[in-house]
Chains A and B, each alone.
Chain A
Amino acid sequence: MSQTLLSKWTRPALVGFLGLLLLSPFLLPYTVNAKEGVLTIGNAGEPQTLDPHRYNLRLEETLLNDLFLGLTTFNAAGEIVPGAAQSWQTSEDGLTWTFKLRDNLKWSDGQPLTAADFVYASQRLQDPATAASLAYFMYMVKNAPEVNRGELPVSALGVSAPDAQTFVIELSQPYPYLLERLLYPTAFPVPQHVIERHGDDWVKPANWVSNGAYTLADWQPQAFVAMQANPHFYEPVSIQNVRYLPVVNEQSAYNRYRNEELHVIGSFPVGELERVKTNYPNELHLSDLLSMMYLVFNTEKAPFNDSRVRQALSLAIDQDILTDKVLRSGNKPAYSFVPDLIADYQTTPLPHVGKDRAERLQQARELLDSAGYNNPNPLKITLRHVSGVEGKKVNLAITGMWRQIGVVANLQQAELRNHFADLRQGDFDVAWAGWVGENNAEHYLTLLQSDIGNVNYGRFADARFDDMIKTAQQLSSAIQRNQQLAAAEAYVVDAYAVVPLYTVSVRRLVSQKVSGWQNNLRDVHQIRYLSWSD
């Protein structure tokens, strides 16, 4: 070999480099291997936080329901049952609720869990420093709005712990649905002893303490949230290890489920529905969800402050086409903002439901014209939605419907948590939004209340509507309350603040290796009710 062509270091260097290259895949250390016996679930996305008082998204609720236990909780069928509280009593006027906690409740680090923890948690929720956007969930507690606005100290909040096992909530007005409201993470207890020591870092896995059936073992951003069974939970659980993976892409979820990498997934491409019914009949879980998917107008931004424009845009949308033709996955069209599924309540459908479509389009065009938008000056809108196949389809179809009345719309998509973060900031024209809720109309109607906070994304404000809601909230009889709420809905529907679109039909796949999975209207499935099939 001629020495002049190559330096004497060349050959060893080349060999070394090639060797390193070939071996490199085996030398790099990283993520934990998937273990046997770990329940692996595809979740709708990456959580923004695991602090129950700062959560916002349903996918976070799913995780928090396993990590914490509130006063009340769900059973496997989605019904309300005692949780950390074993029993409760209400006073005659409905304003004082007394909860008796179970004996010997403990935090996951062995510390006793007492009523004082619930007092601390309630105060922390309303503390302005926590900046909880769902703090309003507990506004019915005495002085809660004032504390949240910083007008009163947290000690003024209407919660107390006469003894370690008794927790008392005082309301400013009667609220018959309190037990349901306590199901949300906003009412979960948080470990005071940990928060005082670590501050905001208390949510890190190393410091994690909670009172639910599971604790946080690890959180690798964008990769997984790992949980393990809490040894101090008051009941034993069957499944010991769980991993929630953020699987946003439903095609990917479907692929990985079929490859047996995931035991449960929350959605799959709707085009596959027929095939799934044939090939995986025992694994398919189709169920209605108590929910409302709607469009919200930013009423603080012109021209959406003009109700004629809102009405025109609403007239052009045909909910039946959206559900029957575009989505074709069992979703139900929604003609009223409060879902039809709510018990004992009379919804008010949009005024134009049932009218001939051509007539509606004509009326819409006339309205736009009167508001100053016509052919030479078309209305231009940016419609925001959550990325994903369903979001894209629905919102594209909506732009197509708007095109029929001469509106030029383009789409802007964002990931779930960023979409809602922007909505809470009021950064939009018209946006798709979704709300999964309780079995009462108030939960939905209060979204249009002007002082509810940033979940009134469109900042809709109508004084008379606010009054009607406040009046309803003072009634303790559920029947009277519902009637008053129905009247408020009938009134506000003419303002076209939102356009109800459809309610969700969940299509899940659950592996046969997992048993105990029951469909329910809330689509809540706490891991502690599940077990391995063998």
Chain B
Amino acid sequence: MNSLWALIVKEVKELVRDPKILVGVVLMPIIIFPIMGAAIQVSQESVERAIRGASFAVYTDDEGFVTDALLSYLYTNNTVVPIDADSLEDALVAFKATDSSALIYVPNGYHTNITQGLNGVLRIYANLRNLNMAETQSTNVVSSLISVYNYYFSISRIRGLLEQTGSVGTPEAVRNPIVIEYSSILKGNVLDIPPSAIFNLVMGQSIMLPIMVMMMVIFAIQMAATSIALEKEQKTLETLMTLPVSRFTILAGKLSGSVVIALAGSVSYLVGFGFYINSAFSFVPGATTMNIDDVGIGITPLGMVLVGVVIFVTLISALAMALSVAVFADNVRSAQSFTGALVTPIMIPAIVLMFSDIEMLPQSFQWLMLAIPYTHTIIATKAAFLANYAVVIRSILFIGVWTLVVLYVAARIFSTERIITARFTFGDLGKRLRRRQPHSH
């Protein structure tokens, strides 16, 4: 235990004092994400300011009290640039000279049509000078203004008609005779919440967790590979292997040291990402009003424990794999290129399952995905949220068996001379291929 602790402390010191690792893995996420968030926030705020500041222009070719009512609505609380012109053509020329991005044109006949029970037509001209977000937004603002007016106008007209005919009912009911209300049955409970809202919530949460797990696994793989390659590069491996400590303890020390740094990296990532989400999406109103616990699908303590087990076995197998592979590298750089190959099977399930469930995939692709142990990590973490514990345990067993296999391989490599003599470079591969070539000709 003493030796293991000494090995872990040494691993952590070696890794964390390396500026490349300290900056790249631990500090970068906590610095980069808030900067990204702030940048997005600044651009969003400038768009908002642009929309708020954007005045719209109005040109009227019509007269009458219906038109006057519309105009007085538009002029209240908004900055309107009145366009005074003899024709629409002149009005458009004048409009182009203003800063406004939208022009509301009230054509002749608007008042007459409406008073005769027909559609009054308005035309909105959008001036797309720079094709940026603010320009389309200001058109949307104008449309929304008119929609609101349209709604209340129709309600007041319906009320008038109902009074004239002496009919029963409310103007709202006449306008929308059918209203749909949604309820969702989740884990046996009936909730008065639309399924889409719950789905969005679950997706948000159940995607974030697997992504975090995968990020941590990738960090840990890099750490483990770096730590073994550093031993080779610094020529300390031979000394380490002649110390009076079991090879398994050395292996366990390397695994644990890498996990510690990976955890630090992940926490930093999580904190940084939290800042990013908060600052980048702070302008979205009500984005965080519904909580996963409100709908009763928060993860249970049992689910939490199972997720912990999933993360643990996943990490150990990935690390053992990284150590076994990195043994064949001469230096840190080649170890990192080796681990690049390991990261791929971990990234693929994370990316594919981010957007779909395993059942949605074509059958053959499903089998292929299920053969990758790290697919089960994602499936298990998602299932833990939905309390499908049988699925979680099945996945844990699968990854567990894989972990034992990889650990056995790593322990074998560590207990034999292969740890000292194993060497593989891309140059070797080239030589082997060249040696084969004459046979193929």
Asked whether A and B interact, the reply is: no
